[in-house]
Amino acid sequence: MAAKLSIRHLSVRGKRVLVRVDFNVPIEGSCVTDDTRIVESLPTLLFLREKRARIILLAHLGRPGGKPVAGLSLEPVFKHLRKLLDDSRNIFFCPECIGPLAEAAVLALKDGDILLLENVRFHAGEEANNSTFSAELAQLGEIYINDAFGAAHRAHASTVGISSHLPFSATGLLVEKELYYLQGQLESPKRPFLVLLGGSKVSDKIGVIEALMERADKFLIGGAMAYTFLKVQGIPVGDSLVEVDDFGLAGKLLTLSKDSGVELLLPLDAVETLEIQPGAVCRNTPVFSQRRGVTRGWIGVDIGVKTRALYSAEIARAATILWNGPLGVFEIREFSSGTRIAAEAIAANSLSVSIIGGGDSVAAVRSFDLGNKMTFLSTGGGASLRLLEGRPLPGIDTLTEKK
């Protein structure tokens, strides 16, 4: 991706700056239960406030399907933001994101004020990237900043269409940080460069393996995706999750790893259970062989003790670690040890650069209270995977190029 104009390059004093943020946070009742994404956007908001811009925030929440849904209003987010900024005087909410009400709210802004507009997905034009809708959003401001990394892989009106109506569009500080770690740091990583992949679907991660095969020194595979690779090698996997459609690709990647000398390590053993439920009976399998794997009728739900020891030793030797996807069903305590031990091994390797690629792996690391021991936690699941695959992010690709 060509280098993009940054918020730091623009003169924003007194200007109406439209900032697309990722405020898609979990809400229960009217309370935000995890404010990570809001907190991550604060540096950009404080930067713009310090520079005395008039800040207009665009965001989405959930999937209202193009019409107003009371439970998906951004008002609770606004109240939370007001608390976080500790200064409720200059922060406003508008229950519309386009039209006369939004225009009046923008007109009333003074330098340094912040205005959050209502959920852009209350309009069908948002997800359709409709140009009339993006023009209506754009005419509220003079400059566009995209700081919604978590939504940058989506070509919607407030992430893509909008920038074509404005003379300048630039990256915000969060997007800049995400690009620095997920692109810059991994371009010429400190070696050994280890890629740890898990989660439920091989199909989601295959692109990442292919793209990083040339740069990584070793892949460690865990989670449900491991069973597709094990099955291809003829190891019994019982009732574990496998993706039959991906057998061909998994086989191709195993061959590619052999040919290129980049090791792709698979679990040596597993924790198996009869049902994926808290409190379910579980046990460690023997070390896998062609004859012995996950027992028929049982499901592999975590990497086993031998695998944990092997993976921890590899992690301890790595200089750069990229992790995407939990190594087991970490949401259930009995099946979370493999993921926890991997997170602890990364935390213990304090000299390494550790990049956690968003979504469930970040949730896992946080649930073990190890978030502050990692170099970087990405805020975007889908967006980070796409970037790691080397594919462009539409929400960033369309920003003004840095001259």
Name the residue number minimizing CB distance to ligand AMP. Answer: 199
Question: Does 272 help bind ligand AMP (rule: CB under 6 A)?
Answer: no
Site for ligand AMP contains 224 (CB under 6 A) = yes
Q: What is the CA radius of gyration of the chain?
A: 23
Binding ligand AMP (rule: CB under 6 A), the pick from 94, 102, 329, 343 is 329
Q: Which of 223, 238, 358, 359 is catalytic?
A: 359
Answer for which of 76, 267, 293, 325 binds ligand AMP (CB under 6 A) is 325
How near is the Cβ of 4 to ligand AMP at its closest, in Å? Answer: 28
What does the alpha-carbon distance between residue 359 and residue 345 come to, in Å, rounded to a whole number?
20
Output b/e per residue, 37-62; b: 16+ Cβ within 10 A: bbebbbbbbebbbebebbbbbbbbbe
CA pair distance 190, 353, nearest whole angstrom: 8
CB hemisphere CA count around 163 (13 angstroms): 24
Does 13 participate in catalysis according to the annotation? no
Q: Is 297 a catalytic residue?
A: no
Decide: is 264 part of the binding site for ligand AMP (CB under 6 A): no
284 binds ligand AMP (CB under 6 A): no
Q: Candidates 204, 246, 269, 314: give the one binding ligand AMP (CB under 6 A).
A: 204
Looking at 37, 49, 51, 386, which residue is catalytic? 37
Return the exposure string of 74-93: e unless at least 16 CB atoms fall within 10 Å of the residue's CB, then b.
bbbbbbbbbebbeeeebbbb
Q: Does 199 bind ligand AMP (CB under 6 A)?
A: yes
Binding ligand AMP (rule: CB under 6 A), the pick from 79, 165, 201, 218 is 201
Rounded to 5°, angle at Cα 202 from 200 and 204: 85
- Which of 300, 357, 358, 395 touches ligand AMP by CB under 6 A? 300
Smallest gap, in angstroms, from Cβ of residue 338 to ligand AMP?
9
10 Å CB burial of residue 290 (0-12, 13-18, 19+) is exposed
What's 114's DSSP letter? E
Select from 3-11, 30-38, 94-102, 196-204 the region that touches ligand AMP (CB under 6 A): 196-204
CB distance 166 to 138 below 8 Å: yes
C-alpha distance across the termini of the chain, in Å: 14
201 is known as an active-site residue: yes
205 is catalytic: no
Select 18 or 220, whichever has its Cβ closest to ligand AMP.
Answer: 220
Judge whether 27 and 76 are in contact, CB under 8 Å: yes
Q: Measured from the CB atom, is 149 or 335 closer to ligand AMP?
A: 335
Binding to ligand AMP, residues 330-389 (CB under 6 A): 330-331, 359-360
**For ligand AMP, which is the closer residue by CB, 303 or 399?**
303
Question: What b-and-e string marks burial along 323-345, b requiring 16 or more CB atoms within 10 Å of the CB?
Answer: bbbbbbbbebebbbbbbbbbbbb
- 200 binding ligand AMP? (CB under 6 A): yes
Which stretches of the chain bind ligand AMP, using CB under 6 A?
198-201, 204, 223-224, 241, 300-301, 325-326, 328-331, 359-360
Q: Mind telling me the catalytic residues?
A: 37, 201, 359, 382
